[in-house]
Every structure is written in C-alpha cells, then in structure tokens.
Amino acid sequence: MKKNACYRASTTQRWAGLMKTNTTCPYCGTGCGVTVDQAVDGTLTVSGDASHPANRGRLCAKGSALAETLNEDNRLLSPEIDGQQVSWYQAIDHVSRALEETIEAYGRESVAFHISGQLLTEDYYVINKLVKGWFGTANIASNSDLSMSSSIVGHQRAFGTDTVPGCYEDLEAANLVVMVGSNLAWCHPVLHQRILAEKQRRPEMFLVVIDPRRTATADCADLHLAIQPDGDCLLFNGLLAYLASHGKLDEHYLEHHVSGLKDALRAVGDMPMPRLAERLGINLQQLEIFYGRVAFTPKTVTLYSQGVNQSESGSDKVNAIINCHLATGRIGKPGMGPFSISGQSNAMGEREVGSLATMLAAHMELDKPQHRDIVQHFWDSPRIAGKAGLSAVELFDAIADGRIKAVWILGGNPVVSLPQADRIKAALQSCPLVIVSEVASRTDTLDYATVRLPALSWGEKDGTTSNSERCISRQRAVKAPLGDARADWWAVSQVACRMGFRCGFNFSSAAEIFREHARLSASDNHGSRHFDIGACGSFSDEEYQSLQPFYWPWREGRTSVKPVRFFAKGHYRTPDNKARMLPIAAARPGNRDLSDHYPLVLNTGRIRDQWHALSRTGYSPRLSAHLSEPFITMHPYDALIHGIADGDIVQIRSPHAAILMRAMLSDEQTPGQLFAPIHWSDEFASQARVDSLIGSRTDPHSAQPAFKNQAVSLQRFAAHSHGYAMLRHKPDRQLFADVDYWAMTPVIGGWQIEFASLQEARELDTSMAMRLTKSMQPCCIEPLSCLDHANGMRRMAVFEQDRLQFLLFTSETPVPVSRSWSAAQFEALWNQRSTRWRLLAGRPSIDQPDTGRSTATV
C-alpha cells in the first residue's frame, strides 16, 4: 500500500441507503473538498468535506449550490457536425481526418488548441502529449494566458521554477496578510473565511487590501489602499526602498541565497514618500502605516491575484512583490511568503502538466534540449515541439489572418472571455475547422463551432485537480453521464488513435493517464524539478480511486504528504541556486489612453455568486438573486456629471465596441473609475460582454491581457420604452434580437427578462406580445390584457389551461411591478377566471405583504 498519510480503503461509502462520495469543487482555485450524498431516489446533496485540508468542511455559496447547477436542460447531449447530430464514431472520424488534411495542406503550425482551467489533469496530459509530441507544435493557448501567466513568469524569473513557495496555513500563521488585486471575499470565499476566523481568534492580526476600489474584501480589512490603477510596481518599489532605508533587509539571506539586490535597489530610486503617496492617489498616513507594518512584521504573506496578473505590467508587479520578500528573507517559512492565488479549479494542474504554449511537460522547459530529450524519450514520440506556441491573444490573431486553419476549444468560451471579443467572433467565423468540446448546449462560442463534442460535467467527470497550494485532489463521478457525453481525455485519445497514434494514446482510464503523468514527473528528475509525484506512478486502479488529497512533491519511496514550503534555505532552481531580484521600472500609475473621447477607466472582474460566462451558475435562481442584471458601478460624482441616475441603463463605449448595462452608484468606486462584471454573455443579455470593449494590450513578458484598465466613455441610454416579462421557461434569445437592452435571469418559478428599447412603447408591446405568444406553441392559450391609461402601461397575462405561461408589462417609464410577487404566481393554479385579472396589477393586493423589489435595479 502507498504511504499516503490519509489513505482510506474507499471514499464512496453506503450507509442506510445513502451513498457518500468525496470529490472536489469545480469552481475556484481554493480547491475545496465536497461530500456528495446520494439518496436512494438519486437526489444529490452537497456539503463541505470536513477531512479536506483546503476547506475543513466549509463551502461558499457557489460550492453549496453545486447540486442545483447540475441542470439537465442546458446540456450538449450528442456530437454534431455542421449542426447535424452524429455518432461519436462519425465525429471522431471527421475530426481526425480534418486535422490530418489540415496538417498535410498547411503544416503542423496551422493547428491549435484552446483549453481552460475547468479541465482535469488527465485531460491536459493527453492534449499536451498529442500537440507537443505528435503534432510537434506548442500551439496550446491555455487559461493561464488569461489568468496566471504573469505569476508563472514572475516565479520563473525569480526562482527559476514555477513553484508557489507557501501554503494556506501560512495565511493563518501570518501576523500581516497583504491582499493585492484580490477580491478574496468573493472569489476565494473559503480562504477568506479561514483568514477571518483566524483574525477573530487573534484580533492583532493585521489585514491590508490594495485595490483601486473598495471591495467586500476591503470592508473586512484594517487598511485599504485604493491606489491608482497599475500603481502596484510603484508601491512595492517604494516598499523595497523603505525596507532598505529602515535596516530591514536580511543580510544573511541576501548574501547566501539571492542575487540582484543592487540593481533592484537602483531601479526603485528614492522618491520622497509624500510624492509617492500623491502619485499612488492615497494619503501619506496610509502609506506610512502600510510600509511601517510590513517593515516591523516578519510574518507577512503577500497574496495576489488578477489585479496584479492582468496588467501590462503584470509580470513586473509579481517580481516587485517577490523582491520585497527575497530582500527580507521572508519566504518559505511559516506565515511568510509571496502567494499567487490561482483562479480556476485546476489552473495549477495546467501548469504541472505543462499544457501551456510556453512550457513542455511536468515543469520541463521547451527551450532546454535535455528536457526535450527526456520528454520525447519518455513518450517515445515521433517528434517534440521546440519553440513556444501561440498565446491566447496571438492564437486568435493567427486564426483571423489565416495562419491557423483548425482550432479545438475545450472548456473555454473565448467569445466572452478574450479581449476584443467581437474580433474573436469574426476570427472563428473565418476558421475552416472549429471543434468545441462543451458541457453546455448553449454558449456564445458554440455558435461558431463546426464540430460540437459533448463533454462530461462536474459530477460525471473523474480525475484529479490541483489547487493554489499544490494540493492534488480527486474529482469523482457521482452520477451517470447524460446522453452521449464523454470525458475530454477520451475524445482526444480517440482522435489520436484514429490518426494512427495508438501507441501513445491507447488509454482506457483516467487512472492510467495519471500514472503516466506521475512517472514522467519523476523521469530523470533526481530532485532537479520540484514537481515530482513519482510515488503515484505505480498506483493500482484502486489506489487511484481512493486517493486522498496530497501535496507535491511526493517522490517515489517517500511518505506523503503534508503541505511543503520551499526556499526557506534557498535552493532556487537557477544555475547558481540563488533567487533573482529584478530591477523593476515603475511606470506612472493610471491609464495612458485616457482622452476627451474616452475619459474613464474601466476595471473588470467578478461577483460573489456567478461564475464566468454563467453556463452553470446563471441557471440557479438562488445564485442569480445576488446581482441579477449586468451592471456597472460608478461613483455618484461621475454619475452626476454624466446625467445618470441609479438604475438607469447606460452605454459604455471603447474604441472597440459599445455595451449596455444598468448603472449602480456607489462610493466604493474612485471617481473616474468604473467597474463591470465579466459574467453576462450574449446568451443572457443583449450587449453586455465587457471583453468586447477591452483592447489587446498585453504584458510583454507573459502575454497576459490588460483586462483591468481600459479607457472608455459613458453615457445614459435614452430608452423610449421599458419592459418586464416573466416566463415559465428560458426563452430563446432570438426573441429579443431587435430589442436594444435585455437581460434574463432565472427566478424560482421561471425566468424574468428586463428590457428597454429605442422603439415606442406601443410598438415594443405589440411585437413582444406577438413573439412571446408565438413561442408558447400552445394548444389553447388564453390571453388577458389591459392598457392603463393613467400611466400608459400595458399589461398582459397568458394562461394555458390553469397555468400562467407568461406575464408582460411594457411602459414608457421603468415598469413598477413586484418582481418576486409575479414570479410566485407561476406556482399557483388559476382555474377561476374571475380572479385572473389580479395578475395584471403586478403586485399583491393591499392585504398581502410584498417583500421583493418593484423596479429593475440590480
């Protein structure tokens, strides 16, 4: 038996008709353990896995709602070629032949993959092996390009390896936690809860948030520095100078384990503190508190996320932070270290497998001949990629200009998530072969697929995933696959076999792939690479099934597997084993593209209860209740000078596109800056894809897009008519094709749609009433309608037998009906016609309470 400290005989247990399975949450990089209970009738309930080291039983709102997002209505159930349903046999045959023909006609570099952090390690492994070992290219644009690549570059430049030095326990052991560009409270809620629980136990623990806007995370902190956008390099350069001038450098650590101090110090200069504070847009006292706290608190962790990574200076921000930790020797020791938090659940796994355009496999490097030899020899592959492939932004440029002729997208929605998103649409439209492996039946990217392949969703998938602290856990299947959905590794292996590569891809299980990945990590390693899970290379299938969360490295013959820290005693993976401090040039904070035409900075990010393009969370009424429409937050001052009131629909324009969102006024924003969430895709709203606004500025070292600092303009959208509809089922978005603004949200009982238009109210009403009625395809519908002459409001209710089918209200002004009350009416039986008119009031009668909102504000 392997010595996995918490190895158990089995993780799926039956008790009194209840089946319990331990698995892992598919959302964020916290990587929480989830226990799924399956009742005899198949009902699934989820709870936090008390034995998982990441969450010890906790779950956030998204994790707790996992069972209700296993929705069966929105699943891609069978393969399709050009919109026609086909068998897997036909699909694999078609894909393999089309790829062969493309390579033959246009060469190996004409084929590319676009993958995301939703995939499991086993999927990545097979894709990486096929692309680099058999196709001989490194064209794998990965989720990391959008999310983690600045951190990867920062790690590699400083440490010589992409190794996160610390672990979650450091966040609890620290006396000072500095959160930079991270809204941990909403994006990694369980980690945030762990920090807050510790702070409650030790109130002297000090929390700092560095973020241009006041977030939920900032609200819980002792100090919030609302620096100007991209002021991070300047702030941390200033900190390094302060530490040096206050005698806080660790001379011993610097002498033995670090190089580059002199150059780094020369680059930071000696800007006086008042000028520094002024440039950063914060007050001097705040800056002094921050620097003073860091200087006098050895146990400091600096945790950072997309406010750092997604910037033109992303890699430099990472190194400016790491410089301060190296100079003080605060790294790899309990409660100390720089800590890059990963975004998607398996973003870290992607890096371990090396399924990026810039890496090889198992932390080996594309440009090292001995690494290429190790991998090619291990794979026994006909060739091996020798140079970096295309990053995500470059990949779609290459599709647009015809260099790439075939792209296979697995687990991503680039039409929503990449900069200049309208160009992504155009690029995909021009690409002869677009294969999309998806779980959902409707996404914006699927519209452009020539081949659609149904993938297993969470709950059906089986494999491993790695979280931000290098902990590898199992995702286990808890239900049978729906339709013809298959694992991504299976689809890719089948295509490879059909292309004649059976020798390398004859995989029959995730366990088999994991064993091979583990053996490769140990191949010719001898301690030279941190990522080594050689102990898993000889697992039996049963051991793989029962594998408990463990941390890497886990070398052959060693016992597993507590969190490991790196670099306390140096041993960096550079030629002289010393870490590198880098000279960081800090540009002036702000946005150099601001102009009279585009005077405001648009910042983008996430909200608490939604996940990316809503393909899962967007179907949950509970999760959608938090913030239910695409919105943009602005300071009341900006609203005032643009003539905008809370709840107005506004147009946000950049040189690339224009979108419509609902205005939310908040003093959490600094004047001159706006914040919009990334979640609303064309599937859920008319024009709310923020990435259509974002330009293609990227970090020169990591190629990561500058998603958080875009110059835009703002104006009120002067709608002539407004509407609100409640439907029993999610309507086809084509119904609203010519309505300027619409957004749909699930509520208990159905779907609600808010809309607004430049059409006259009467026109809008007639066309919406006709379309909605037509979409019912009823056997016998009974409409009821009225025009309220007092306020020009039109009201309509449509029944099919005793059930309400839809409600429609239109008006020249925003529609004041009770949203929650109208949703609740879908549950009722309406067999007495005489009472039906009540519905047209859109609110409860005077003797009934109404707790919900009655206007369309988010």
Ligand X SMILES: Nc1nc2c(c(=O)[nH]1)N[C@H]1C(S)=C(S)[C@@H](COP(=O)(O)OP(=O)(O)OC[C@H]3O[C@@H](n4cnc5c(=O)[nH]c(N)nc54)[C@H](O)[C@@H]3O)O[C@H]1N2
Q: Which stretch binds ligand X (CB under 6 A): 45-53, 330-338, 630-638, 689-697?
A: 689-697
- Closest residue by Cα to residue 673 from 634, 622, 643: 634
Q: Report the first-to-last Cα separation within the chain, whole angstroms.
A: 55
Q: Are 23 and 478 in contact (CB under 8 A)?
A: yes
Q: Return the closest-CA partner of residue 415 out of 386, 444, 440.
A: 444
Residue 606 binding ligand X, by CB under 6 A: yes
What residues have CB less than 8 Å from 15, skipping those under 6 apart?
none
Q: Residues binding ligand SF4: what is the number (CB under 6 A)?
A: 14
Position among 30, 319, 654, 673 found at the interface with ligand SF4 (CB under 6 A): 30
Candidate residues 22, 116, 139, 147; the one interacting with Mo ion per rule CB under 5 A: 147
Binding span for ligand X by CB under 6 A among 44-52, 209-217, 399-407, 661-669: 209-217
Which range in 10-18, 81-89, 145-153, 636-644 contacts Mo ion by CB under 5 A?
A: 145-153
Stretches 556-564, 611-619, 752-760, 790-798: which one binds ligand X (CB under 6 A)?
A: 611-619
If one asks whether residue 86 binds ligand X (CB under 6 A), the answer comes out as no
Q: Which residue in 32, 664, 753, 793 binds ligand SF4 (CB under 6 A)?
A: 32
Which residues have C-beta within 8 Å of that of residue 268, sequence separation ≥ 6? 237, 238, 240, 241, 584, 586
User: Cα dist. 536→58, 506, 546 in Å?
Assistant: 28, 20, 12
What's the CA gap between 281 and 302, in Å, rounded? 21
Question: How near is the Cβ of 443 to ligand X at its closest, in Å?
Answer: 5
Phi then psi dihedrals of residue 716, to 5 deg: -70, 140
Residue 190 Cβ vs ligand SF4, minimum distance, rounded to whole Å: 4
By CB under 5 A, residue 450 contacts Mo ion = no
63 binds, among ligand X, Mo ion, ligand SF4, none (CB under 5 to 8 A by kind): ligand SF4
Q: Which does 32 bind (CB under 5 to 8 A by kind): ligand X, Mo ion, ligand SF4, none?
A: ligand SF4
Residues 212-231, interacting with ligand X (CB under 6 A): 212-213, 215, 229-230
Contact at 8 Å (CB) between 292 and 328?
no
Residue 154 interface partner, choices Mo ion, ligand SF4, ligand X, none, CB cut-off 5-8 Å depending on type: none
DSSP state letter for 559 = P
Strand partners, 463: 475
Cβ 62 to ligand SF4, closest distance in Å?
4
Enumerate residues 6+ apart whose C-beta is below 8 A from 214. Answer: 224, 226, 667, 668, 669
Q: Which partner, ligand X, Mo ion, ligand SF4, none, binds residue 464 by CB below 5 to 8 Å per kind?
A: none
Q: Whole-number minimum distance, CB 293 to Mo ion, in Å?
A: 29
Residues 525 and 556 sit within 8 Å (Cβ to Cβ):
no
Distance CA 88, CA 91 (A): 5
Nearest distance, CB of residue 27 and ligand SF4, angstroms: 3
**Cα–Cα distance between 814 and 333 in angstroms, integer?**
57
Query: CB-based contacts of 430: which residues, under 8 Å, 6+ apart?
Result: 399, 400, 402
Q: Site size for Mo ion, by CB under 5 A?
A: 2
Q: Which of 22, 53, 63, 808 binds ligand SF4 (CB under 6 A)?
A: 63
In the complex, least distance from residue 279 CB atom to ligand X, rounded to whole angstroms: 13
Q: How far is the CB of 207 from Mo ion (least distance, A)?
A: 23
**Long-range contacts of range 736-740, CB-CB < 8 Å, 24 or more positions apart?**
736/686, 738/767, 739/686, 739/764, 739/768, 740/660, 740/686, 740/687
Instruction: Pick the piece of the chain touching ligand X (CB under 6 A) from 41-49, 78-86, 176-184, 493-501.
Output: 176-184
**Number of residues near ligand X (by CB under 6 A):** 59
Q: Give me the residue label for tokens 């390099």.
A: 233
Pairing mode, strands 451-454 and 433-438:
parallel
Which one of the spans 59-67, 145-153, 450-458, 562-570 is the region binding ligand SF4 (CB under 6 A)?
59-67
- The yes or no reply on residue 677 touching Mo ion (CB under 5 A) is no
Q: Of the listed pieces 146-154, 188-196, 394-402, 582-590, which binds Mo ion according to CB under 5 A?
A: 146-154
Spatial contact of 839 and 811, defined as CB atoms under 8 Å apart: no
| CB-nearest residue to ligand SF4 | 63
- The entry of ligand SF4, Mo ion, ligand X, none near residue 165 (CB within 5 to 8 angstroms by kind) is none
Q: What CA–CA distance (Å, rounded) separates 769 from 783? A: 10
**Among 520, 613, 727, 769, contact with ligand X (rule: CB under 6 A):** 613
Asked if 353 is part of the footprint of ligand SF4 (rule: CB under 6 A), the reply reads no
Q: Does 691 bind ligand X (CB under 6 A)?
A: yes
Which amino acid appears at position 539 of this protein? F
25 binds, among ligand X, Mo ion, ligand SF4, none (CB under 5 to 8 A by kind): ligand SF4
Contact present, 496 and 504 (Cβ < 8 Å):
yes
**Cβ atoms of residues 415 and 445 within 8 Å:** yes
Site for ligand SF4, residues 182 to 211, rule: CB under 6 A: 188-190
- 27 binding ligand SF4? (CB under 6 A): yes
Closer residue to ligand X (CB): 122 or 250 = 122
CB of 368 to ligand X, least distance (A): 28
Give the DSSP per-residue string, 743-757: EEEEETTEEEEEEEE
Report the nearest approach of ligand X to the CB of residue 471 (Å): 17
- Alpha-carbon distance of 715 to 738, in angstroms, equals 21
Which pair of structure tokens corresponds to residue 608? 């608490």
797 binds, among Mo ion, ligand X, ligand SF4, none (CB under 5 to 8 A by kind): none
Give the residue from 220, 145, 186, 192 showing the smallest Cα distance to 27: 186
What gap in Å lies between CA 195 and CA 203, rounded to an integer? Answer: 11
Does the protein bind ligand X through residue 118 (CB under 6 A)? yes
Our finding on whether 182 is near ligand X (CB under 6 A) is yes
Residue 306 touches ligand SF4, criterion: CB under 6 A: no
Please give the residues from 296 up to 325 whose contact with ligand X meets the rule CB under 6 A.
305-307, 310-311
Which residue's CB is nearer to ligand SF4, number 33 or number 260? 33
The DSSP string of 423-477 is HHHHHHHH-SEEEEEESBS--TTGGG-SEEEEB--TTT--EEEE-TTSEEEEE--
Sites for Mo ion among residues 289-348 (CB under 5 A): 343
Q: Which stretch binds ligand SF4 (CB under 6 A): 28-36, 246-254, 583-591, 646-654?
A: 28-36
The site map against ligand X for 664-683 (x = CB under 6 A) is --------------x-----
**What residue has token string 């090396």?**
354
Q: Does residue 181 bind ligand X (CB under 6 A)?
A: yes
Instruction: Kindly report the length of the chain.
Output: 858
In terms of phi and psi (left: phi > 0; alpha: psi -120 to 50; beta: otherwise), the region of 235 is alpha
Nearest distance, CB of residue 55 and ligand SF4, angstroms: 6
Q: Which stretch binds ligand X (CB under 6 A): 139-147, 555-563, 637-645, 799-807?
A: 139-147
- Cα-based angle 695, 424, 492 (whole degrees, multiple of 5): 130
Which option in ligand SF4, ligand X, Mo ion, none does residue 215 bind, with CB closer than 5 to 8 A by kind? ligand X
The residues that touch Mo ion, with contacts defined as CB under 5 A, are 147, 343
The residues that touch ligand SF4, with contacts defined as CB under 6 A, are 25, 27-28, 30-32, 55, 59-60, 62-63, 188-190
The residues that touch ligand X, with contacts defined as CB under 6 A, are 28, 116-119, 143, 146-147, 180-183, 186-187, 210-213, 215, 229-230, 232, 305-307, 310-311, 343-344, 410-414, 417, 437-440, 443, 455, 461, 488, 603-606, 608, 610-613, 615, 678, 690-691, 694, 707-708
